[in-house]
């Protein structure tokens, strides 16, 4: 799919990967970009970046865990720019802990990391199917293909997001609907690095070691910038690739996991033990 003249929605567009996607899609010549997020000041900043560069964008405050707000987001986009060609369901949250995490935390992350993708598909698929054309980009995580040590709610919901994207691709591929699932590993966003992410977006180097308190992610490989992820997404959409892996090594890990799950689990247990020992 070529992005020029396409109408695009990006959730979580106020910062991090979402902001990078929205600004990059506009730079690629999108007809209009609807930038959605909970934080109005941040989406206003993203929209200003796009419009100052000559692009077209609108800010829409949206809680993606509420289906009515996702539908309203799509309706506002259609009113402003026309039918949605590409919906980037990118918003997500991280919650750590294991099965002991409170039920309220499990429900909240389920609603944002999975049900938001369901709501997005419900909102745009009827029009896309009627036209015989459309694209869904769902942001999951390498954790959805592998796991995330110390964060069961995050790993489980990202696995579910990958499964939904796969189902959509299989079910609607012959109807003209393209689906990609974005599965990055470490990215310099507020989810991983907190307030340090803003400095990195301004050109500071990503941290190494355990400076950000996210040892398992930081120890697993390079931390990319959101702009680098956006580069991978544009290339993946152009190729209409299902799995978009900004960290190519994730594909290798995924293949090893599939080939010998017991060996992979053993390796992950050893990795966990090293992290716990401070190695």
CATH topology of domain 7-250: Rossmann fold (3.40.50)
Position with higher pLDDT, 137 vs 186: 137
**What whole-number percentage of the chain has pLDDT above 70?**
88
pLDDT of the residue at 46: 98
d(CA 213, CA 215): 6
Residue owning tokens 């409170």: 102
Question: Can you name the residues that pair with 59 across neighbouring β-strands?
Answer: 35
Report the run of H or E that residue 81 belongs to, with start and end: helix 67-81
CB 219 within 8 A of CB 156: no
Cβ neighbors of 173 (< 8 A, separation 6 or more) are 179
Domain ranges of the chain: 7-250
Query: Which DSSP string do the residues of 143-208 spell out, in sequence order?
Result: GGTS--TTBHHHHHHHHHHHHHHHHHHHHHGGGTEEEEEE--SSB-SHHHHTTHHHHHHTTPPPP-
pLDDT band at 279 (very low <50, low <70, confident <90, very high): low
Query: In whole numbers, what is the pLDDT of the chain averaged over residues?
Result: 91
Question: Which pTM does this prediction carry?
Answer: 0.89
**pLDDT, average across residues 242-253:** 96
Q: Is the pLDDT of residue 146 over 60?
A: yes
DSSP state letter for 142 = G
**pLDDT, average across residues 161-181:** 98
pLDDT tens by residue, 200-213: 444 555 444 443 33
* Residue from 3, 12, 126, 114 nearest 63 by CA: 12
pLDDT tens by residue, 79-135: 999 999 999 999 999 999 999 999 999 999 999 999 999 999 999 999 999 999 999
**pLDDT, average across residues 63-83:** 98
DSSP state letter for 21 = H
d(CA 238, CA 217): 28
**Choice among 7-16, 43-52, 190-199 with the minimum mean pLDDT:** 190-199
The first and second tokens of residue 49, run together, are 């970046």
Please state the length of the chain: 279
Tell me whether residue 142 is exposed, middle or buried, using C-beta atoms within 10 angstroms of its C-beta: 0 to 12, 13 to 18, 19 or more: buried
Active site includes 254?
A: no
The first and second tokens of residue 22, run together, are 């929205």
pLDDT tens by residue, 188-237: 975 555 554 454 444 555 444 443 334 444 445 689 999 999 999 999 99
pLDDT of the residue at 219: 45
The first and second tokens of residue 109, run together, are 């992350």
pLDDT of the residue at 190: 56
The first and second tokens of residue 68, run together, are 């009515």
Residues 119, 135, 154, 253: which is the catalytic one?
A: 154
Report the run of H or E that residue 37 belongs to, with start and end: strand 32-37
Q: In what order do the strands lie in the sheet with 7-11?
A: 57-61, 32-37, 7-11, 86-89, 134-139, 177-182, 243-244
Q: Is the pLDDT of residue 18 over 70?
A: yes
**What whole-number percentage of the chain has pLDDT above 90?**
85
């Amino acid at each position: 799919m070529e992005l020029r003249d396409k109408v695009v929605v990006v959730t979580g567009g106020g910062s991090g990967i979402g902001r990078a996607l929205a600004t990059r899609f506009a730079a690629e010549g999108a007809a209009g970009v609807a930038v959605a997020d909970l934080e109005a000041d941040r989406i206003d900043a993203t929209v200003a970046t796009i419009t100052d560069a000559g692009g077209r964008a609108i800010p829409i405050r949206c809680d993606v865990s509420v289906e009515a707000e996702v539908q309203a987001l799509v309706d506002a986009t259609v009113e402003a720019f026309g039918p949605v060609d590409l919906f980037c369901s990118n918003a997500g949250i991280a919650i750590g802990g294991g099965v002991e995490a409170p039920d309220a935390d499990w429900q909240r992350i389920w609603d944002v990391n999975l049900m938001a993708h369901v709501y997005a598909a419900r909102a745009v698929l009827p029009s896309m199917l009627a036209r015989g054309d459309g694209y869904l980009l769902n942001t999951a995580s390498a954790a959805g293909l592998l796991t995330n040590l110390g964060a069961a709610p995050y790993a489980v919901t990202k696995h579910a997001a990958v499964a939904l994207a796969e189902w959509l691709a299989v079910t609607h591929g012959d109807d003209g609907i393209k689906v990609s699932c974005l599965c990055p590993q470490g990215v310099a966003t507020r989810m991983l690095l907190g307030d340090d992410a803003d400095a990195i977006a301004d050109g500071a180097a990503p941290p190494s070691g355990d400076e950000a308190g996210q040892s398992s992610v930081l120890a697993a490989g390079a931390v990319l910038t959101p702009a680098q992820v956006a580069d991978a997404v544009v290339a993946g959409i152009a190729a209409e690739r299902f799995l978009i892996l900004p960290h190519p090594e994730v594909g290798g890990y995924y293949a090893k996991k599939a080939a010998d799950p017991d060996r992979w689990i053993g390796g992950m247990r050893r990795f966990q033990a090293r992290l716990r020992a401070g190695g």
